[in-house]
Amino acid sequence: MPTDTLELVCPAGTPAAFHAAVDAGADTVYCGLRDDTNARNFPGLNFSREELADAADYAHARGVKILLALNTYMRAGQPEAWHRAVDDAAQIGIDALIMADIGLLDYAATHAPQMRRHLSVQAAASTPEAVRWYAERFGIQRVVLPRVLTVPEIAQLITEIDIETEVFGFGGLCVMTEGRCSMSSYATGQSPNMNGVCSPASHVHYEERGSKLVSKLGEFTINSFKEGEKAGYPTMCKGRFEAHGKVSYLFEDPTSLNVVSVLPELIKAGVTALKLEGRQRGKAYTKKVVSAFRRALDTAATGAVPHMPDLSEVMEGGKATAGAYQKSWQ
Amino acid sequence: MPPASLRAASLECENTPPNSLRDPPFSPILFAGFLARPLPLAPLNLLLSKAMRQMHARHTDVFERMQAVPNPAFLIVPTDLPFALVMRVNIDKPTLMAIRRTGGGPIAARLGTAATISGPFEVLLALLEGKIDGDALFFTRALSFSGDTEAVLALRNAVDGAEIDLARDAAHLLGPFARLAAPLGGFLNMLWRRSSADMAAVAASLTGGQQTRLRAQEDALEELTLKVRTLTKRSNRRQKQTQET
């Protein structure tokens, strides 16, 4: 049933970012544990069990929900870390788990049935048949939709399923079929879907060559930035390569998703929740982006068109796009 | 761990920040650095040691988060000060020490640091408190690093997650004189604001003429770029027409 607003689901990579998100107006905050059970397994990031319990207390005391991302795929024969995470989350009082692995979904449905289960974007479920299968088999209450659907496609999908939908609203874009991309694995030998990080920092290098800044991932040169040009973190899909004598972004421009311009349409389509990306970013990013989207959603709830906030400072490449939501290509 | 001879306070490091940060900002800190250059580093190092011990006691989580990094040692280069900082964030024995920046060859390898982080002192302090986005700083090259990306990322995440408040921590550092912290902080803040405004006026006066000329050159360049683009298009069209006929 469409409402007049969307639940604002915000990222937190550390307790400080968690507090910033809650204080800036998040309805829900999602985070991960300090291991490869989540897809933002960067060094120095994420929560210990104690920090997670403190964060849950902080959120619940302010009427905010806390979600735990367990969105990597379990290693064959070694499911213990993922199982323990489900058990601990249940004990801490986490409101919902975000999962993609069918084995883990089954474990959570069996061992912690009281906890809500959300289907991660890593499962890449974008058809009514796929979503219904996950709902019937594992009792998922919400699906996080891949960033490949237009607003009309989302609206149509919602009429054909009986569970909540969550869509991405801001942050890094992924043009691949999520959960199935092997480009980073090819370059580094580490899988984003298993080890929990796309372009692991241990394989990232920056070099200054004259006035240029060159970024590398493993043995691959990903980009070369001129003086004054905004640089970026090197991922294969956002690399600038030479092909047929022309240098260009072959797969995707380094641009941030920003859906403020289509918020009224997403609300009208019956979407339940809006997810902001960026657990790997600092608390200054969290505060700025969450505050901007809180204001935009509050404006949209009154029926007015929300003002596009200036978030260029924290955007990848300093540019924004509404991505596939306003798809002008086939 | 570097040899003992390199752990003395008389260390020096190369005076060469990365390309993007060769020109330090024209700020009161730059001038304070000139004034501080002849002073001995020993008193500063005593203060830094005490500050690091306090950081260890008050923000243990920073050091816990760094445990996964095999060598959590960094050379921090404030580009507007005449010294650099060697920081080791080992959980058992963290250290912070100033060394002079007075020439010499690359020293990071000899110091045994995993990475070098360079930026204006004010930016480094804001980063420590998580007031500004570290990614944005690096991507706009207001900040630069070289060496182990994983170690730098871990440090950024660990510090950002710690909710460090320098004013509060400095008050603790003053011990029995903590009640002086607020008026002292207010005075320094006022001094900083006034001197920044004065220096901005000086900078505007010195570079005003150049800025005007630069803007005129930019306009001329833009006009030329447009002309070249038009001529290229016209030439391509003619080439195509010739090929078709």
Question: What confidence tier does A133 reach under pLDDT thresholds 50, 70, 90?
Answer: very high
Type of residue at B194: R
Query: What are the two backbone dihedrals, phi and then psi, of residue A314, each rounded to the nearest 5 degrees?
Result: -105, 5
Give the pairing type, strands B83-88 and B95-100: antiparallel
Contact call for B149 and A282, based on CB within 8 A: no
Per-domain boundaries in chain A: 7-173+255-326, 183-249
Query: What would the two tokens of residue B196 be?
Result: 């920044």
Residue that wins the pLDDT comparison between A55 and B207: A55
- Interatomic CA distance for residues A12 and A279, integer angstroms: 5
Judge contact between A174 and A40, C-beta under 8 A. Answer: no
Average pLDDT, chain B: 83
- Please compute the mean of the pLDDT values over residues B180-193 and round it to a whole number: 80
- Interatomic CA distance for residues B194 and B186, integer angstroms: 12
- Residues in chain B with CB shorter than 8 Å from the CB of A314 are 133, 135-136
Among A109-113, A185-189, B47-51, B54-58, the range with the most confident prediction by mean pLDDT is A109-113
Q: Tokens 């580094």 correspond to what residue? A: A188
For A208-238, write each residue's pLDDT tens digit. Answer: 888 889 999 999 999 999 888 888 889 998 8
Query: What would the two tokens of residue B127 be?
Result: 């980063």
Q: Tokens 């601990």 correspond to what residue? A: A88
Q: How many CB pairs under 8 A join A and B?
A: 99
- CB-CB: which of B65, B133, B155 is closest to A284? B133
Helices (H), chain B: 28-36, 42-58, 60-65, 108-111, 121-128, 134-139, 149-160, 166-173, 181-244
Judge contact between A169 and A274, C-beta under 8 A. Answer: yes
What confidence score (pLDDT) does residue A272 get? 98
What confidence score (pLDDT) does residue A127 get? 96
For residue A1, which of A271, A264, A266 has the smallest C-alpha distance?
A: A271
For residue B32, which of B163, B122, B119 has the smallest C-alpha distance?
A: B122
CATH number for region A7-173+255-326? 3.20.20.70
What confidence score (pLDDT) does residue B50 get? 92
Q: Which residues pair with A168 in a beta bridge?
A: A275
For B31-52, write each residue's pLDDT tens digit. Answer: 888 888 888 889 999 999 999 9
Among A121-130, A144-153, A310-319, B211-220, name the one with the lowest average pLDDT.
A310-319
Q: Which residues pair with A165 in a beta bridge?
A: A143
Q: Where does residue A158 rank: exposed (0-12), middle (13-18), buried (19+ CB within 10 A)?
A: buried
**How close is the nearest chain B Cα to the Cα of A236, in Å?**
17
Percentage of chain A modeled with pLDDT above 90: 72
3-state secondary structure of B80: coil
Q: Tokens 């300090």 correspond to what residue? A: A34
Prediction ipTM score: 0.88
For A51-109, write each residue's pLDDT tens digit. Answer: 999 999 999 999 999 999 999 999 999 999 999 999 999 999 999 999 999 999 999 99
- Interatomic CA distance for residues A311 and B50, integer angstroms: 39
Strand B83-88: give its sheet, edge to edge.
Answer: B95-100, B83-88, B73-78, B115-119, B144-147
Contact call for A282 and B130, based on CB within 8 A: yes
- Residues in chain A with CB shorter than 8 Å from the CB of B61 are 15, 51
Question: What confidence tier does B2 reach under pLDDT thresholds 50, 70, 90?
Answer: very low
Please identify, in words, the CATH class of the domain defined by B4-173. Answer: alpha beta
- Please compute the mean of the pLDDT values over residues A291-301 and round it to a whole number: 94
What confidence score (pLDDT) does residue A20 get? 97
- Please compute the mean of the pLDDT values over residues A190-219 and round it to a whole number: 88
Handedness of CA A299, A163, A174, A122 (dihedral sign): positive
Is pLDDT at A198 greater than 90 in this prediction? no
Is pLDDT at B4 greater than 70 in this prediction? no
Question: What confidence tier does B142 reach under pLDDT thresholds 50, 70, 90?
Answer: confident
For B74-130, write each residue's pLDDT tens digit. Answer: 999 998 888 899 999 999 989 999 998 765 445 655 788 999 999 999 899 988 888
For residue A38, the 8-state DSSP code is S
**How close is the nearest chain A Cα to the Cα of B146, in Å?**
7
- Residues in chain B with CB shorter than 8 Å from the CB of A291 are none
Per-domain boundaries in chain B: 4-173
**How close is the nearest chain A Cα to the Cα of B79, in Å?**
17
**How close is the nearest chain A Cα to the Cα of B185, in Å?**
23
What confidence score (pLDDT) does residue A51 get? 96
